[in-house]
Amino acid sequence: MERATFAGGCFWCTEKAYKDKKGVEKVVSGYTGGQEKTASYEKVSTGKTAHREAVQITYDPDMTTYEELLSIYWQNIDPTDAGGQFNDRGHQYTTAIYYHTDKQKKKATKTKQRISDEFDEDIATQILPFKTFYEAEQYHQDYASRRRIKYNTYVKASGRKQFLEEQWVEQHKEKKKQDLSRLQRYVTQNEGTEPPFANKYWSHKEPGIYVDVVSGEPLFSSTHKYKSGTGWPTFYNVLNQENITLKEDKSLFRTRTEVRSKQADSHLGHVFSDGPEPTGKRYCMNSAALRFVHKDDLVEEGYEQYLDLFE
């Protein structure tokens, strides 16, 4: 096992970014970088020490690489902010990579140079030698999972969520496209159609929402799903009209209305005017273009605004 130590502003957010990463055995929130021999949230959060909020990651280098951990780190911060992170201001919330070995230092420096090409401003994130790390109080550990609603509210209110989506969404979508299966790529990127009655969600009945497999934008709800007899997942309404676009399709010698996701521009399927009331619409989708999020996971995945649908 090896260790990596990153300061990325609020340690709740940095910890959350690594929790489910393959190869990561443990993520601990804490304090590092100061000369003081003790650290507490009361002192660090008020700037009474020179420590930064940070996380220490224990990982298996055979299952994940330091470069992969660095990639996650950069895509969860604003590296140009020299005064803190988002609404959290002060030295204690500034960003830094604390290297444990010369090899980590070289890799961190290399990625910092590459990241600088993504921004017009100078990169403020420091690369420093690791010295000591003090674990934060127990109530700060695994905060995002234990206090999901408060955590998601904080992430949005702080401005972090909006910045990360705007800065990294395009790169995220491209990465997700590379990870698509052959069928998912055929459907979403080449306007393909999967076989009826032999796809993942055609008879799926669990409560939750369906999101775009590339971007994660919410599209449909199980509360609007019905059995159409076509062999594909079918809905009589859209969960969020702003997340879809409609396009005229004459590819089969007749005019149909294609449905695409707005952010990812994925081909989803087609909509017809022979559906049930109250809309009279039949949104006939491809399972390969969708990812299902169970109602019990909505808060954890950031879709808590749709919880009311299942009460």
> Could you list the active site residues?
10, 284
Q: Give 116's DSSP letter.
A: G
Provide the CA 258 distance to its chain's centre, in angstroms: 27
140 CB-near residues (< 8 Å, 6+ apart): 11, 12, 29, 41
- Determine the Cα–Cα distance for residues 151 and 206; give it in Å rounded to an integer: 26
> According to the 3-state scheme, what is the secondary structure of 242-303?
HHEEEEEECCCCCCEEEEEECCCCCEEEEEECCCCCCCCCEEEECHHHEEEEEHHHCCCCCC
**What's the Cα-to-Cα distance from 137 to each of 40, 214, 276, rounded to whole Å?**
7, 37, 55
| Distance, CA of 311 to CA of 295 (rounded, Å) | 10
d(CA 261, CA 265): 5
Q: To which residue do tokens 């070995």 refer? A: 101
Q: Is 137 helix (H, G, I), strand (E, B) or coil?
A: coil
Pick from 64, 70, 68, 83: which is nearest to 6 by CA?
70
100-116: b or e for each residue (b if 16 or more CB lie within 10 Å)?
Answer: eeeebbebbeebbeebe
CB-based contact 168:216 (threshold 8 Å): no
